[in-house]
Amino acid sequence: MKTFLAKKQTIFLARLFLGQLPLLISTYLFLSRQFLNFSLIFQFLLVVINLASILVTVYLTREMRIREFEDDDLVSPRTNQLMYIGLAGFMSIICLYRGITAGESYQQLISYIGAILCLIIMLLLIWGLKYYKK
């Protein structure tokens, strides 16, 4: 059992550092518009790194399915659903804030639509907790 958990932690850490972390950094660079200030070679290098990260994430996800990591009892589906409820609520707050601070009317409209969609998703997830079998 310990070797199973050690392999699982190794795959999770590899997925985090090789797949998710580079995508988060490049997303930050893109959203902060620093990406446009870089040279063409560096922009191309970031695109190649993003594609490699996507491929690593897909490969390690398939590896996890082969080893059947989904069936472990470390994180329950109820806990996952509670995390998604929190994420949807957080995204709704961000959209509402963006709607309030946006200068253009089309930006406000898009932000408010996003906030409404996030609230609907959050309410549906909360409603789904009612029917969750313990």
Q: pLDDT, tens digit, for every residue of 4-48?
A: 556 667 777 776 777 777 777 877 877 777 777 888 888 888 888
Q: What is the pTM of this model?
A: 0.50
Shared-domain flag, residues 103 and 130 = yes
Give the end of a domain, one of 73, 93, 124: 73
CA dist list (Å): 18 to 10, 31, 46, 74: 12, 21, 14, 23
Contact 18, 49 (CB under 8 A): no
Range of the domain at 50: 1-73
Shared-domain flag, residues 67 and 109 = no
The total number of structural domains that make up the chain: 2
Shared-domain flag, residues 107 and 68 = no
Give the end of a domain, one of 40, 73, 106: 73
